Amino acid sequence: MNALWDQPDRYGLLSRIFHWGMAILFAAQFAAAAAHWGLPRDNGLRQLLWSYHSDLGVTLFLLVLMRGAWGLANIHRRPSHPGVIGRAAVAGHVAIYGLMLIVPSVRLLAAAGSDRGLTYLGLSVFPARDAEIAWMQGPSEWHGELGWILALLVLGHVAMTEKSAEQLLM
């Protein structure tokens, strides 16, 4: 039971499963976005990777909510980050969490007000509207840019936390 929860000297099993599971899924999501950005429209790999972008994005959104709730439930027992560098690390984590929420949210908002609607794993989440709602589309213009900023933050995070990975997350 104890191994499930975070401890002051190491993250618990559930946090580690969330972290590494989502790390793999985010890597796949960034790969799809990179293919969408860099490959020509009729490229088969681009089409294959892009075909799961929306379903994977919604999945990641749901996982972020669950991981955030689990992180809050553990807030007083998880490893702390003292000192100036520790505060910078916490600020970095907060920025990653914020973007992990905002990036899919702006697209979901657009889908909720769109004339195409949204399906998730084949289930209808937002039915298609007769007419688009303009204000719900605006924030999604930043979806791609914010997604790339998130990718950069994650790269920086990987470079900086590599050394503590063994101690904290294995």
Shortest Cβ distance from residue 1 to ligand HEM (Å)? 20
**6, 12, 15, 46: residue in contact with ligand HEM (rule CB under 6 A):** 15
Please report whether residue 57 would count as binding ligand HEM according to CB under 6 A: yes
Neighbour-count burial for 123-156, b at 16+ CB within 10 Å, e otherwise:
eeebeeeeeeeeebeeebeebeebbeebbebbee
**Residue 166 in tokens:** 């063994």
The yes or no reply on residue 109 touching ligand HEM (CB under 6 A) is no
Tokens 């289930």 belong to 123
What residues pair up with 123 in beta bridges, in sequence order?
120
- Does the footprint of ligand HEM cover residue 113 (CB under 6 A)? no
Collapsing DSSP to helix, strand or coil, 11 comes out as coil
Find the part of the chain contacting ligand HEM (CB under 6 A) among 2-10, 41-49, 126-134, 136-144: 136-144
Question: Among 137, 146, 142, 143, which residue's Cα sits nearest to residue 110?
Answer: 137
Residue 24, SS3? helix
Tell whether residue 101 is a contact of ligand HEM (CB under 6 A). Answer: no
- 164 is an interface residue for ligand HEM by CB under 6 A: yes
* Binding stretches for ligand HEM (CB under 6 A): 15, 19, 22-23, 26, 29, 33, 36-37, 53-54, 57-58, 60-61, 71, 79, 81, 89, 93, 96-97, 100, 103-104, 107-108, 111, 118, 140, 143-144, 147-148, 150, 154, 157-158, 161-162, 164-165, 168-169
